[in-house]
Amino acid sequence: MRVIVVGAGVLGTMHAWQAVERGHEVVHLERESEARGASVRNFGLVWVSGRAGGEELATAQRARDLWERIGARVPDLSFRANGSITLARTEAELAVAEEALKLPDAEERGYRLLTPTEVRQANPALRGAFLGGLACTRDAAVEPRVAQPALRAHLEATGRYTFLPGREVRGVIGESAVRDDHGQVHHGDLVVLCTGAWLGGLVRELAPELPVRRVRLQMMQTDPLDEPLTTSVADGDSFRYYPAFAGPALEALRAAQPQPPVAAEHRMQLLMVQRRDGGLTIGDTHEYDQPFGFDVVEDPYEHLTAVAEDLLGRPLPRIRRRWAGVYAQCLDTTRVVHRERVRDGVWLVTGPGGRGMTCSPAIAETTADLAGL
């Protein structure tokens, strides 16, 4: 078959990967010269620990295994099975971690509760103040800024993949073709639209009642830290934003320990992962009300810096860059992604929310199965 994939973010690239792996030819269109959205403005985390039990966890676990297999074939992804530690700085946060150990799928997630000494043995860079940490051995990381080019280079070597950047798709023709803004029509046997946070124009025409919203975040990256951060790191506020931790202990945490005003206003948690060059990617915030601001706000960065320094027990390296990003999130919390056949032979896949980097390989695998690839 000849498959037309629209959108070269991680979700679109993984759909192209699945099609080529199954022996098909792919024409891949991207309106920018490279993906510039949430697929490169993220942590590069393959995050299993906080996923909701059931389909979401199963998807994340399957995706994590796929990432590892793909990473073995594409070394530039820098796949690292580094695990994570979510640090508890208060008794209320520690109680949430202890309750997580009682989940029926705790072993499947690779949960283990660490004492402060065990935390420092597992990750010596963490020399700050905390009462313990919830470790998750299934979490991993890749390099988001190089992932798509690295995957495309591997696909191009097969001779069955063509990447066409700078092509915005303006229309879907019939059941198996698209027309780009150069006036060129690309014919295939199947069209997969992975348009990310671009929800207007063609997407609105094809799916006017799309149950997907846009979410804005702010993040930053430091100069290299002079020692390895051996795991990804989260703070106790992360418990508030991941469905796995819902329960009586979390409700008690919310009641007894409100977030600081700036963290509550910007719906913040701390996530921190070390890049291949040694720099730390740190975030993040969540903004839902549109229109989004066009500027970045300094207060959240100051909060993140203070929390990160408290956990590391030392000043952060110089902040090298700050950025904002926007991703698409499905409003139906029971689904990992919005997947819709908008016409025979034309599929729209969007709205994985903050799970896009984690779950994209498994999301693409399911689409390929449903579409008969």
Residues 114 and 241 both lie in one domain: yes
Q: What is the pLDDT of residue 27?
A: 98
Rounded CA-CA distance 130/132 in Å is 6
**Residue 371, C-beta contacts closer than 8 angstroms, at least 6 positions apart:** 190, 192, 347
Tell me the C-alpha distance between 176 and 190, whole Å. Answer: 5
Range of the domain at 265: 84-137+212-330
CATH number, domain at 285? 3.30.9.10
The arithmetic mean of pLDDT across residues 273-290, rounded, is: 96
Burial class (CB in 10 A: 0-12, 13-18, 19+), 117: exposed
Average pLDDT over residues 330-355: 95
What's the pLDDT at 71? 97
User: Do residues 10 and 67 touch, judged by C-beta distance below 8 A?
Assistant: no
Give pLDDT, residue 323. 96
Please tell me the total count of domains within the chain. 2
Is residue 226 domain-shared with residue 131, that is, in the same domain?
yes
Residue 175 vs residue 109, higher pLDDT? 109
Q: What is the pLDDT of residue 283?
A: 95
Residues 166, 74 share a domain: yes
The residue written with tokens 């997969």 in the block is: 192
Scan for tokens 């208060």, then name that residue. Answer: 90
Q: Do 170 and 312 reside in the same domain of the chain?
A: no
Terminal Cα-to-Cα distance of the chain (whole angstroms): 8
- 70 and 165, same structural domain? yes
| pLDDT (0 to 100) of residue 333 | 86
Please give the share of the chain, as a percent, with pLDDT higher than 70: 100
Residues 345 and 306 in one domain: no
With b for 16 or more beta-carbon neighbours within 10 A and e for fewer, the 153-163 pattern comes to: ebbeeeeebeb
Banded model confidence at residue 242, pLDDT cuts 50, 70, 90 = very high
Q: Are residues 10 and 34 in the same domain?
A: yes
CATH number, domain of 153, equals 3.50.50.60
Same domain, 194 and 72: yes
In terms of domains, do 62 and 158 share one?
Answer: yes
Work out the average pLDDT over 204-221: 96
Q: Indicate the Cα dihedral angle 221, 216, 312, 97, nearest 10°.
A: -150
Residues of 28-44 as b/e, b for ≥16 C-beta within 10 angstroms? bbbbeebbebbbbbbbb
The Cα–Cα gap between 52 and 337 comes to 13
In this structure, the answer to whether residues 30 and 155 fall within a common structural domain is: yes
Residues 164 and 240 in one domain: no
- For residue 175, the model assigns a pLDDT of 87
Contacts of 352 (CB under 8 A, 6+ apart): 11, 327, 328, 329, 330, 336, 337, 359, 360, 363
Three state DSSP letters for the chain: CEEEEECCCHHHHHHHHHHHHCCCEEEEEECCCCCCCCCCCCCCEECCCCCCCCHHHHHHHHHHHHHHHHHHHCHHHCCECCCEEEEECCHHHHHHHHHHCCCCCHHHHCEEEECHHHHHHHCCCCCCCCCEEEEECCCEECCHHHHHHHHHHHHHCCCCEEEEECCCEEEEECCCEEEECCCCEEECCEEEECCCCCCCCHHHHHCCCCCEEEEEEEEEEEEECCCCCCCEEECHHHHHHCHHHCCHHHHHHHHHCCCCHHHHHCCCCCEEEECCCCEEEEECCCECCCCCCCCCCHHHHHHHHHHHHHHHCCCCCCEEEEEEEEEEEECCCCCCCEEEEEECCEEEEECEHHHHHHHHHHHHHHHHHHCCC
C-alpha closest to that of 230 among 128, 126, 314 = 126
Q: What is the pLDDT of residue 288?
A: 94
Identify which of 295, 347, 342, 303 has the alpha carbon closest to the alpha carbon of residue 322.
Answer: 295
Residues 57 and 49: beta-carbon distance below 8 Å: no
What pLDDT digit, counting tens, does each position of 138-170 carry? Answer: 999 999 999 999 999 999 999 999 999 999 999
Q: Are 107 and 206 in a shared domain?
A: no
Global pTM value? 0.96
